Amino acid sequence: DTGVSQNPRHKITKRGQNVTFRCDPISEHNRLYWYRQTLGQGPEFLTYFQNEAQLEKSRLLSDRFSAERPKGSFSTLEIQRTEQGDSAMYLCASSSRDLYNEQFFGPGTRLTVL
């Protein structure tokens, strides 16, 4: 399968714990995006990378959230001291650098904070 992959697919954690999600983009794509989607809403942008550089972060990304893409390939999103409000689907997408290229989404990681 050469699409975007995300792990784990589901994560249940207790409030206050740290969690880390991984995204593997399509191999030739140099742009990688993280979005968060809550029930009944469209995805909301969190952050994006071009290669290993994190070029933009949303105001939604509090200081408990950190994302990395150390070698310009896979990316991780870590949430520290999780809160119940962090419960959501975390989606990763990738695209190539060419103009007007669509983003391809992974299956998402569903986080439930108890």
Partner 1 sequence: EDKVVQSPLSLVVHEGDTVTLNCSYEVTNFRSLLWYKQEKKAPTFLFMLTSSGIEKKSGRLSSILDKKELFSILNITATQTGDSAVYLCAVVKKSSGDKLTFGTGTRLAVRP
Which residues of the shown chain bind partner 1 in the complex (CB under 8 A)?
A: 4, 31, 33, 35, 40-45, 48, 50, 55-56, 91, 93, 95, 100-108
Nearer of residues 7 and 80 to partner 1, judged by Cβ: 7
- Judge whether 113 and 56 are in contact, CB under 8 Å: no
- As a whole number of angstroms, the distance between CA 60 and CA 69 comes to 19
Burial class (CB in 10 A: 0-12, 13-18, 19+), 5: middle
- Nearest-approach distance from CB 41 to partner 1, in angstroms: 6
- Nearest-approach distance from CB 44 to partner 1, in angstroms: 7
